[in-house]
Structure 1
């Protein structure tokens, strides 16, 4: 479910730089004094389709109260105590709109794809008609907010804009200009912006009619817009001063709004520090960069980088919004901004006159290492700025990512990336890359992908929300990703595919992550032998992760997945795989799934996965669903609120008299279950057939302390 983005980064070279003068220090001093007005600028909206088909379940209006309510702080819409020690340590505080004061309407909960509620954090949000509001009480001092929202698409696609008034304590009104230009995709992969489009692939099987349309007589009629998705966007705002705990922030869809409705999902608030200043650096302003964003600054960035490389200086980008409409090629250079709230690199997507050698038909803003074929880049360090793209459609051959190419012995820290295709896509071979403390949101595809031969690299402390494909992925196409770690990241609301996915590779680790609310065609943690990936060899460790509201419904198979799921499609999955210390909370269907495709069910197996010290709090169906031949062992796997039989063992669907082709080993300490009895009862072992292809779903209660 990850796009193929291969090929070399586009090369550009600028004129020789001017010699820096004492003006650099003066320019830096001026920019350091710039006020909080350098908040993230509003970007445009998308379209406005039939809202009735996508509003989700209406739970009734929330009560508006006359005084401020005590703030409810959550992480992934959960009590923070339930996810302590897992996920990214972020500077902001999350508050869900459904817990705030409002005279609007709560939508949800709903986990059905193609609904506004299903794509909301926690599967709930608040819908405002013009004139209605939602009001949050600050739990901590803050001078900045992020609003996650949705507004309608334009009837013919392309998006609309709409105002959202922001007041603090009833005063100090500011107006955000919301947009839906970067939301609202439709139809079959790779999707379209046109709500009235017919099937993109009439010869593909679709679930709506369980048929191949071009082979069906008469052809089926599809409801338009077909499969609306990717509804949400988010926007940041610096408030201009610091407000205290207990102050109230009211978001109002004003009566003058052209949007028929505005959905507010959540508010993140934070206390942003002052801009960072670097005096002993090559300042982009001295080389002609325009901090107002009116002129393209790409050539000025190139000149600054070339000068900094010769003089062994860092590059400094002061506060401002800089227009950059192509790749900036980086090698052996450190580039620092004043902080990602202050330094914004923003660009348009630009159509190329002729396709690039890698197949790209567009370029856009991005910082790229040299291609691996050209030796890659080394000693690149990027930090403290935002990258805002202009990607509104998915074209997998396009290199329109925030950060890309090959970068060894490098770091990417503290960036804020949105509206690119993939936040960070790395084509190896490359080694020793550290990706830390970044925020990647509102992507058409992945937030980050290690693609092909990435080794000994770490992705840690990053926050990801609203991706159109896997949140974080390791894809070992052509050569194995080896010795990498995804640790203490938060991934929320991937609208397609998985929170974290590993496709082949050797000696990799996925640990201490928090993954919430995957929507369709994937789940929270995925181990897949697919997409032409190299085999799993050595070990794979999945340790100390927490998932919530995962175990989604797979629309093509019409069955439920597991919060963690293993899929043997192209070959066996037979590495040393250990899943230890994970918590699987509020699973829509299963907690654990091991599966193969029916067409290869007798060819491939998953022979030995070891589960230990696992907690399962709530399953709509089973703790374990086995739909493949192979085996797994279980030790200290505790479960409660299990909706169906603990083990749904179908094996590879041959149902021999000797029992299932999948066997389970009980290593002790496996406790708990549900109404059907102990989840791992002795009579199930080692390979009792307990197959129910589509068991009834029993919605579990909300997670609670263990």
Structure 2
């Protein structure tokens, strides 16, 4: 089957000129909390816990959302069927690790920046908050000494009965080296000609074994497993996860448990049943040809395709156009495939193929009227090869919908190449991706993603990238994005009339923010409205390794051109920001060329920053109205402008439209003396850890 072509995302090579050689030698990391754990692949795992086994909580395990009390996230994020409980809040005889936000550590990549480390024979126990018959465990175990992963068991009991064992694996985690990374810890530098951002050395503290000196740093530690329980258990029942005494893993880290009450399988009688065309629900035989036959008949009869419960082996793309495919539910119907090496590269550059549902290429007219619902896609992608088409869903899909899917272990969960129009993605889950969870790429218009849950991506969680052709009138609303290992939670690269609203974004790990809009990666200009509305971010804003500064929970970036849209940020809540709440910046080489002319912030709450409320490192202006802040770690505004420091004041001006209160012990974060453009440039102040966020 021919592969669908797409334009490959350009590597992240946007780098300022390197600092003097002496400044490159030490590896700089800025620890915001307690430096606790280095993820060492073969030399074991060392930690200094902030809570001992003896101080284990008692009573019910609290329910959280992205590590926050649900009251702090009301009305924001995806509506999901499961309830999340953090391991650090559960009963355990293991060791709590974290909190810590230092990249390349296990706590930093954990939800809420803390987890529980178990030795052989140790356990963590959760109390079910509601009736459940299925669970998801997010975990990490060590890599094999030479890379490639290991497998290890984890025992699960409920109230001490009916033990079940799941098999954990590190085959889909533990990446090393430079972008786009390697799963070989002994690999030489992938790009010796690139300036190495972290440092010019390979620090021994992050080397997996004394005899291996080559890997840059280990990252992408976590994976998750889902399991249906033997029956429905009730609220108050206790789910215990125990590492067997004979486990091959020297340690097991448990991050969280999701529990869910899964309903009966969906049944569609008036449909083309794939079993009638030879599909194998046991997964032993290849079901791709049967899927093709069922789709062809469904189109002739104008009926949907129904895929009953089972696991179906599919090792290539299923091409979809003018067809509805319904599974029995993503816990019941699973498409699972192996990554297959091609005999020779395909015309689009792919070297591998794998399980995926693809519309036709936009150049061939694209696909229309495609509706996919109620199934899971499980890929076999273990390293990032940007030329590969190994995404869960791809191609150009107009007048289409994707509902209730669960996608994991693909490169990108859903990657759409336009031009295309009117796609609706909703009520889906995308986890454990090598790159993005979803990307609207090139001329995607009038489309939306809603109530979709994303966790553990290797690049942006949700992205719109207007390369070559502008995206327009698209919306990301009521989604949850947790723990993107690299880059941003939600990222907008150019485009016209874009809305990002009512989302919950937490815990970006490296070189990104929770919310980002950037004129970069060759994107078409921003135009019309760029609106961020009623979003909540938590523990966001990472340390930018090129600039050696902290980013904001929301980050506006002028690199390739001005960010010259009507920027409206209204009703956002920025909680426990690692550095700044708001950052507006340009790159040094274009600081006198590009600007962010006007942004408007209104009805914002800032609860805790490591440094400032606003960091301005660009030409331009912003207005502020009813922006309330508390627990601000440094001066309210870091105003560097374009770093020319003229006698007339900064090249960035601020307007106070009233109601901007709180922030520091000495008065409002937006003091009158800062207006309109007082230079207050100190963008590397000491970081002050704020208290946990609380109701306003």
Q: TM-score range by the shorter chain?
A: over 0.9
User: Taking structure 1 as reference, are residues 222 and 648 closer, same or farther at Cα in structure 2, changes over 3 Å only?
Assistant: farther
Aligned to 1:18: none
Is the counterpart of residue 314 in structure 1 residue 304 in structure 2? yes
**Aligned mates of 2:631, 2:602 — CA distance in 1:** 19
SS of the residue 1:299 aligns to: helix
1:58 pairs with 2:42: no
Contact 2:608–2:691 under 8 Å retained in 1:
yes
Q: Is the CA contact 2:636–2:670 (under 8 Å) kept in the aligned structure 1?
A: yes
Following TM superposition, by how much is the alpha carbon of 1:51 offset from its aligned partner in structure 2, in angstroms? Answer: 5.3
2:68 to 78, 94, 97: 78
Cα distance in 1 for residues equivalent to 2:241 and 2:194: 43
Partner residue in 1 for 2:664 = 674
| 2:549 corresponds to | 559
1:172 corresponds to which of 162, 165, 172 = 162
Q: CA RMSD in A?
A: 1.8
- Aligned residue for 2:108, secondary structure, equals coil
What SS does the corresponding residue of 1:118 show, helix, strand or coil?
Answer: helix
> Per-residue CA shift, 1:383-428, capped at 9, x if unaligned?
0000000000101111100000000000000000000000000000
Distance 1:604 1:56, change over 3 A: farther
1:413–1:438 contact (8 Å) kept in structure 2? yes
CA distance in 2, matches of 1:7, 1:553: 30
Unaligned runs of 5+ in 2: 9-38, 204-210
Distance (whole Å) between structure 2 residues aligned to residue 574 and residue 211 of structure 1? 40
Who is 1:140 aligned against?
130
Identify which of 237, 240, 243 aligns with 1:247: 237
Shift of the alpha carbon at 1:5? 7.5
* Mapping of residues 119-268 of structure 1, within 5 Å: 119-209=109-199, 224-268=214-258
Pick the aligned partner of 1:275 from 265, 269, 276: 265
Aligned pair partner of 2:390 in 379, 386, 400:
400
Structure 1: 5+ residue runs without aligned partners? 9-46, 214-220
**1:666–1:623 Cα change, 3 Å:** same
Quick check: 2:122–2:243 contact (8 Å CA) kept in 1? yes
CA distance, structure 1, for counterparts of residue 469 and residue 387 of structure 2: 20
Name the structure 2 match of 1:504.
494
Q: What is the SS of the residue equivalent to 1:307?
A: helix
Native 8 Å contact 1:643 1:675 kept in 2: no
Tell me if the contact between 2:321 and 2:360 (Cα under 8 Å) persists in the aligned partners.
Answer: yes
Cα gap change, 1:165/1:5 in structure 2, threshold over 3 Å: closer, same or farther?
farther
Task: Compute the displacement of 1:64 (Å).
Answer: 7.0
Provide Cα deviations, 1:338-377, integer angstroms capped at 9, x if missing partner.
Answer: 0000100000111111111111111100000000000000
Q: Deviations over 1:534-556 (max 9, x none)?
A: 00011111000000000211122
Q: CA deviation at 1:69?
A: 2.1
1:465 maps onto 2:465 in alignment: no
What are the superposed Cα offsets for residues 420-478 of structure 1, whole Å, 9 maximum, x if unpaired? 00000000000000000000000000000000000001100000000000000000001
Q: CA–CA distance in 2 between the matches of 1:314 and 1:338?
A: 13
Tell me the residue number matched to 1:659: 649
State the 1:59 CA deviation.
2.2
- Counterpart residue number, 1:299: 289
Q: Is the 8 A contact 2:189 2:215 kept in 1?
A: no
Could you tell me the TM-score, scaled by structure 2's length? 0.92
- Match for residue 371 of structure 1? 361
Structure 1: distance between partners of 2:535 and 2:411: 27
Shift of 1:607: 0.5
Q: Equivalents in 2 of 1:299, 1:498: separation in Å?
A: 38
Query: 1:176 is paired with a residue of what secondary structure?
Result: strand
1:192 counterpart SS class: coil
Task: Say if 2:400 and 2:422, in contact at 8 Å, map to a contact too.
Answer: yes
Superposed displacement of residue 240, structure 1: 1.7
TM-superposition CA deviations, 1:122-160 (whole Å, max 9, x none): 000000000000000000000000000000000000000
Q: Distance in 2 between matches of 1:683 and 1:165?
A: 62
Residue 325 (structure 1) aligns with? 315
CA separation of 1:223/1:619 partners in 2, compared to 1, >3 Å: closer, same or farther?
farther
Cα gap change, 1:68 to 1:665, in 2 (>3 Å): closer
* 1:63 to partner: Cα distance: 3.0
Contact 1:55 1:107 in 2 (8 A): no
- Residue 32 of structure 1 corresponds to which residue in structure 2? none
Give the C-alpha shift of residue 88 in structure 1: 0.3
Shift of 1:204: 1.6
Judging changes above 3 Å, is the alpha-carbon distance between structure 1 residues 261 and 224 closer, same or farther for their aligned structure 2 residues? farther
- From 505, 511, 516, give the equivalent of 1:526: 516
Contact persistence 1:564–1:593 (CA under 8 A): yes
Q: Which of 381, 385, 389 is the aligned partner of 2:379?
A: 389
Q: Are the counterparts in 1 of residues 198 and 545 from structure 2 also a CA contact under 8 Å?
A: no
After superposition, the Cα gap between the structure-2 partners of 1:181 and 1:379, relative to the gap in structure 1 and judged at 3 Å, is: same
- In the alignment, structure 1 residue 574 sits paired with structure 2 residue 570: no
Give the aligned partner of residue 90 of structure 2: 100
**How far has the Cα of 1:198 moved from its partner?**
2.5
Shift in CA distance, 7/344, structure 1 to aligned 2, threshold 3 Å? same
**Alignment-derived partner of residue 6 in structure 2:** 6
Q: Tell me whether 1:380 sits opposite 2:355 in the alignment.
A: no
Distance across 1 between alignment mates of 2:659 and 2:51: 44
Alignment TM-score, normalising by the size of structure 1: 0.91
- After TM superposition, the structure 1 = structure 2 runs for residues 349-360 of structure 1, keeping only pairs within 5 Å, are 349-360=339-350
Residue 135 of structure 1: SS of its match in structure 2? strand
Quote how far apart the aligned CAs of 1:557 are. 1.3
CA distance in 1, matches of 2:353, 2:517: 32
- Provide the secondary structure at the position in 2 that maps to 1:117: helix
Paired residues in the alignment total 656
How far 1:50 moved relative to its partner? 3.5
How far 1:266 sits from its partner (Å)? 0.1
Secondary structure (helix, strand or coil) at the match of 2:498 reads strand
2:41 matched residue in structure 1: 49
8 Å contact kept, 1:50–1:225: no
Supply the distance in 2 between the matched residues of 1:158 and 1:211 (Cα, whole angstroms): 24
What secondary structure does 1:59 align onto?
Answer: coil
2-structure distance, mates of 1:249, 1:68:
14
CA contact (8 A) 1:370 1:376 kept: yes
Structure 1 residue 224, shift from structure 2 partner: 4.9
Secondary structure, in 3 states, of the residue corresponding to 1:557? Answer: coil
| Residues 1:475 and 1:63: Cα distance change in structure 2 (over 3 Å) | same
Cα deviation, residue 212, structure 1: 13
Which residue matches 2:277?
287
| Alpha-carbon separation, structure 1, partners of 2:202 and 2:649 | 35
